Chain A
Amino acid sequence: MGRKDGLLYVGPASAFLLFVLLVPLALVVFTSVWTAQGPTLSAYERLVGSALFLRTLWNTIEISLTAALASMLLGYPVAMHLARQTPRKRAIYLVLVLVPFWTSILVKSYAFTVLLGRNGLLNQALSWMFQTQVQLPLLFNRLGVIIGMTNYLIPFIVFPVLASLLAIDRSLYLAAEVAGAKPPRIFFQITLPLTLPGMVAAGLSTTVMSMGFFVIPAVLGGRKDAMMSNLVDFYTREALDWNMASAIGVFLLGIVTLAAIAGEWIQKRGARRGGAAAPAAVAMA
């Protein structure tokens, strides 16, 4: 097969993405440094000095890390449960994770508005259970955003961690058992270390994914819970300050790039440690 053959197959798609994706992204970078007065970094200067931006940045980091951490803590038991099923049962339980995974983020956010409101279904259920008026504030605040995000992110943790778990050689468990190891030791000395690269990769990708979220903070959060994406929206459509919007966009892009590089570095380390789990996990993440 000639070397140029490949180019023929990927040509149309590459050209398309070049013109419809790469150029717009370059345009964002360009717009962030070009105003009516010519090239300038004034947008970035304004960003650094803007209390709004700094507050939003801090919110974004806080919310993303919290949600990613929570989803890792919640997703791991599910992955463990799935890993220990027979393939047939696993396929059935996986449906419970797949259907939410395929459901639109808008639907889920809307569902949370129904569930988490002061008179929402959750509070109604709690009121009925405790026979008093329960009105936990779970919506239009930080808690609501984190709940919504964690809920959305869990499948993105379950899949790579499941792949990691299944990649572990089964005879390792029997070898440890025969040597006398009890379940806690097996978990902490075999399962956890061998799934750690996959977990870290998944955690990193979910954190980065969260930072770019738009719908969840918009629907479930209050004014104080706006994240970077909402800020971009504000500057683009309301303030019509495309210069600032682009600067924020470039900032986000920078973070994602750094995270990708960190992810590659982790993958290389994980592979050197002899865990086949890491590349599989990163590929899935």
Chain B
Amino acid sequence: MSIALQANEGRPPAQRHQATLTEDASNKAGAPPGAMVVFQGVSKTYGDAPALHAMDLAVREGEFLSLLGPSGSGKSTILNIIAGAVAPTTGRVLLNGKDVSAVPPRERGLGMVFQNYALLPHMNVFDNVALPLRIRGVGKDELARRVRNALERVGLIGFDHRKPRELSGGQQQRVGIARCIVYSPSVILMDEPLGALDKKLREQLQGEIKRLHKDLGTTLVYVTHDQEEALNLSDRVCLMNGGRIAQLGTPDELYFEPVDEFVANFVGESNLIEAQVTAPGAVTTADGLLLVVRSTEGHARGSKVKVLVRPEKIVALPAGEPSLPGQNRCTGTVASTSFIGGMTRIELERAGAAPLLVKTISSRASDRWPPQHPLTVGWSASDSVVLKA
């Protein structure tokens, strides 16, 4: 099925004709080609408090974009602006090339999944999923076929006559997703859909959502505060901080090439070693340790920086061996060891410097290092990312 047809399907009948007419005209509005959702200079201020600073954003067609960040970072605000639940203070919102800044939610042809499911309690599963189709005047037979299809996709065959309160949280959310996909909207919004579920269920549904996205190919904008979830599911992650985009990139980029300390700390665990640039590709720490890094580009000689090293990239080395080229090495004593299952976290104390966090694959207790044990560790230059201090 062509993407255009899919996109049109999502909108209620009145809008389809209009959409085809205006699509050509508004492509001249300056939207990047292939972008399904575009923010141009969008900001949102509540009274004196800015929830979102002026920003641009382009969500590509068919992409799974996560809006990640701590509470109050603005990620939910962005989603609500796309949905039309909140009007931006400045800027324009484009959906599939059309300016929707003044269009109410019911005419945007979107789909939305909520954290608390938002199922109508007095209707059964079938009627809940059928609601968007009834609104669009779909005939009885086709309606039944499409509802059953949607329920099948989310694994809820035979649940037609149950009421929401008879379902578990995971089942209710599946109904929410079914209600969303049944009318094939052009963009699906998910507002922390798995936030109310426990860990095992969350992981299971994450997999299902990922699979669903692959099957449907719909553009998906997903809000979460769980960085593991964002890394796992998304094509790109938009990490928000204080109403601004901290970094927008692939999960790989955010993890291995964070642009600043906030991103480095939010996504995964990190060691941030304070140092000064002394030569291209080399920095010196306060306690005189010379470190080789991936690149010092953009940082002048003598400028203060922080070197990011992921704990799992630090390995234990036999003591006394000389460093290999491209390898960093330092010594310290084990301050504490935390066995958390597959990995073991080791806090390494270093004389005259901040402790290092090291993560290794666990061995049995008898083989783990006790406190006060001296330890030499090393990591490669390519695993050392230089960030502004």
A contacting B, Cβ–Cβ less than 8 Å: yes
Instruction: State the A residues within 8 Å of B (CB).
Output: 169, 171-172, 174-182, 185, 189-190, 193-194, 273-275
In angstroms, how far is the closest chain A Cβ from the Cβ of B355?
A: 45
Residues of B within 8 A of A194 (CB): 121-122
Contacts known (A171-B114, A171-B116, A274-B164); A178 close to B106, Cβ less than 8 A? yes
A78 to B83, CA, bound (A): 29
Contact A181 B131 (CB under 8 A): yes
When chains A and B are docked, how far (Å) is the Cα of A106 from the Cα of B364?
85
Are the CB atoms of B121 and A275 closer together than 8 Å? Answer: yes
Provide the residues of chain A in CB contact with B136, threshold 8 Å.
180
Question: In the complex, which residues of chain B have a beta carbon less than 8 angstroms from the beta carbon of A172?
Answer: 118, 120
List, in ascending order, chain A residues with CB within 8 A of B83's CB: 174, 178
Note all chain B residues with C-beta closer than 8 A to A181. 106, 131, 135
Inter-chain contact B120/A178, CB cutoff 8 Å: no
B window 256-280: CB within 8 A of A: none
User: Chain B: residues with CB nearer than 8 A to chain A?
Assistant: 11-12, 83-85, 104-112, 114, 116, 118-122, 131-132, 135-136, 163-165, 179, 183, 189
- Give Cα distance in the complex from A242 to B162, angstroms: 57
Q: What chain A residues lie within 8 Å of B120 (beta carbons)?
A: 172, 176, 189-190
CB-CB < 8 A to A171: which residues of B?
114, 116, 118
**How far in angstroms is the closest Cβ of chain B from A72?**
20
Looking across the interface, which residue of chain B has its beta carbon closest to that of A183? B106
B122 touching A175, Cβ below 8 Å? no
In Å, the complex CA distance between A194 and B189 comes to: 26
Chain A to chain B contacts (Cβ below 8 Å), 19 pairs: A169-B116, A174-B114, A174-B118, A175-B119, A175-B179, A176-B120, A177-B84, A178-B84, A179-B111, A179-B131, A180-B109, A180-B135, A185-B135, A189-B131, A190-B120, A194-B122, A273-B121, A273-B122, A275-B122
B121 near A178 with CB under 8 A, answer no
Verify B164–A179 contact, CB threshold 8 A.
no
Task: Say yes or no: B163 contacts A178, CB within 8 Å.
Answer: no
- Give chain A nearest CB distance to B39 CB in angstroms: 18
Which residue on chain B has the smallest CB distance to residue A272?
A: B165
| Nearest opposing residue in chain A for B108, CB measure | A178
The 6 closest A-B pairs by CB, nearest first: A274-B121, A175-B118, A179-B132, A171-B118, A177-B105, A180-B12
Which residue from A174, A178, A182, A274 sits with its C-beta under 8 Å from B122? Answer: A274
What is the chain B residue whose CB lies nearest that of A197? B122
Residues in chain A near residue B189, CB distance under 8 A: 178
- Taking a contact as CB atoms under 8 Å apart, the answer to whether B135 and A174 are in contact is no
- Find chain A residues with CB under 8 A from B164 CB: 274
| Residue on B nearest A179 in the bound complex, by CB | B132
Contacts of A193 in B (CB 8 A): 122
Min CB distance B314 to A, Å, is 45
Residue of A nearest to B111 (CB): A178
Name the prevailing secondary structure of the B interface residues: loop
Does the CB pair B163–A177 fall under 8 Å?
no
B19 to chain A, nearest CB (A): 14
User: Is B131 within 8 A of A176, CB to CB?
Assistant: yes
Chain A residues, Cβ within 8 Å of B12: 180
A185 proximity list for chain B (CB < 8 A): 135
Instruction: Give Cα A179 to B12, complex, Å.
Output: 9
Residues of A within 8 A of B122 (CB): 193-194, 273-275
Nearest chain B residue, comparing its CB with the CB of A178: B112
A179 and B118 contact, CB distance less than 8 A: no
Whether A178 contacts B116 by the Cβ 8 Å rule is no
B contact residues around A189 at 8 Å (CB): 120, 131
The one of B112, B119, B163, B165 in contact with A174, judged by C-beta atoms closer than 8 angstroms, is: B112
Q: CA separation between A227 and B56, bound complex, in Å?
A: 71
A185 vs B135: C-alpha distance when bound (angstroms):
8
Cα distance, A176 to B12, chains bound together (Å): 13
By a CB distance below 8 angstroms, the chain A residues around B112 are: 174-175, 178
Q: Which B residue sits closest to A170, measured CB to CB?
A: B118
Further contacts, 13 of them, CB under 8 A, given A179-B131, A180-B183, A274-B122: A171-B118, A175-B114, A175-B179, A177-B84, A178-B105, A178-B112, A179-B111, A180-B106, A181-B106, A181-B131, A182-B106, A185-B135, A189-B131
Query: Distance in Å from the Cβ of B257 to the closest Cβ of chain A?
Result: 36
In the assembled complex, which residues on chain A have CB atoms less than 8 Å from the CB atom of B179?
175, 179
Bound form: Cα–Cα A177–B165 in Å: 22
Q: Are A169 and B118 in contact (CB under 8 A)?
A: yes
A182→B132 CA distance, assembly (Å): 11
Distance, CA A178 to CA B1, complexed state (A): 23
State in angstroms the CA–CA spacing of A137 and B111 once bound together. Answer: 58
The complex places the Cα of A189 from the Cα of B128 at a distance, in Å, of 11
Give the docked Cα–Cα distance between A189 and B121 (Å). 11
Inter-chain contacts of A182 with B (CB < 8 A): 106, 135
Complex alpha-carbon distance, A41 and B107, angstroms: 69
Contact A177 B106 (CB under 8 A): yes
Q: How far is the CA of A21 from the CA of B114 in the complex (A)?
A: 53
- The complex places the Cα of A95 from the Cα of B179 at a distance, in Å, of 41
Within the complex, what minimum Cβ distance (angstroms) separates A193 from chain B?
A: 5
Query: Once the chains are docked, how many angstroms separate the CA of A169 from the CA of B122?
Result: 13
Please measure, in the bound complex, the distance between the C-alpha atom of A40 and the C-alpha atom of B14, giving whole angstroms: 74
Contacts of B135 in A (CB 8 A): 179-182, 185
Residues of A within 8 A of B131 (CB): 176, 179, 181, 189
Chain B residues lying within 8 Å of A169, measured Cβ to Cβ, are: 116, 118
Residue on B nearest A176 in the bound complex, by CB: B131
Smallest CB-CB separation from A194: which chain B residue?
A: B122
Partner of B165, one of A175, A178, A274: A274
Nearest chain A CB to B12 CB, angstrom units: 4
- The answer on a CB contact under 8 Å between A180 and B132 is yes
Assembly CA distance A274 to B120 (angstroms): 10
Q: How distant is A276 from chain B, measured CB to nearest CB, in Å? A: 9
